[in-house]
Amino acid sequence: MSIFVDESTTVIVQGLTGGQGRFHGLRNKAYGTKIVAGVTPGKGGQDVEGIPVFDTVAEAVAATGGNASFVSVPPKMAAGAILEAAAASIPFIVCITEGIPAHDEARVYNTLASQYPTTRLLGPNCPGIISPGKTNIGITAGEIALPGGPVGIVSRSGTLTYQALYELKQMGVGVTTCVGIGGDPVPGTNFVDCLAAFQEDPETKAIIMMGEIGGAEEEKAADFIRSSVTKPVVAYIAGVTAPPGKKMGHAGAIVSGNTGTAKAKMEALAAAGAHVVNNPTEAGEKMAEIVKGL
């Protein structure tokens, strides 16, 4: 199985007529993802290589029955686009947009929690989600992902998402689902959400978790692994040499004093029973070793 999305997922691309939306939307379609519509206000009635475009998400849902949204719009429009999709009863939203103001992210997070509790947001500022051989929503290159399981991947870093997929492919190890949650301070979906879903998925037998400095999400994940995850977890934390007080890449990747350090995260995960490794290649090697013993 896969988590959150599968071959039956039907996707509406918000921003399909824009450069990034068109490029990645068509790549997703070429992978086999069921892209059923695009949305761009004022461009309803047009199409992008046969994909119909609507003025609103509600119109697109009514016409096509789409049950997922891929948001690829500029930062100032992203919050509105996410909430429009939620208001149209879209249950799963992927937002790749980078640079959304933190205030907008917090407002969206709280609005979804209070008004649209059945809607899951992945991102923003994330590479998306891929269930190899089934569906791909976002910017992950499908050719680096090997289908067939038995490993689930969750990562804050887009680059490490891709490397984890490729390392496993080199080892001949397939993936059930790979989720890039993004590294912004207010993610819609976090490590614990994904770990819980992988724990419940019967076809996911082991999990790779790619974290980084900043915040406390990895420590929360460690607590959840200790209490609720029975499957093997291989963990890597990026940013061991990052200087305190300096933002490194992601908006959420900042260390203040002893809070959010790679060392603290690695120690928490190791204490929870995860196999903590020193680099992404070791993560692939360790997982291949674990899979052989399953």
Q: Annotated active-site positions, please?
A: 250
Structure tokens at 152: 């689930």
Could you give the CA distance from residue 105 to residue 25 in angstroms, rounded to a whole number?
23
Q: Residues of 46-60 as b/e, b for ≥16 C-beta within 10 angstroms?
A: eebeebbbbebbbbb
Nearest CA to 206 among 163, 167, 153, 164? 153
Nearest CA to 28 among 42, 45, 15? 15
Could you give the CA distance from residue 217 to residue 53 in angstroms, rounded to a whole number?
38
Could you give the CA distance from residue 244 to residue 266 in angstroms, rounded to a whole number?
16
Q: What is the 3-state secondary structure (H, E, C) of 78-108?
A: HHHHHHHHHHCCCCEEEECCCCCCHHHHHHH
Structure tokens at 271: 């204490």
Could you give the CA distance from residue 252 to residue 184 in angstroms, rounded to a whole number?
5
Classify residue 19 by burial, with Cβ atoms within 10 Å: 0-12, 13-18, 19+. exposed
Structure tokens at 16: 């399909």
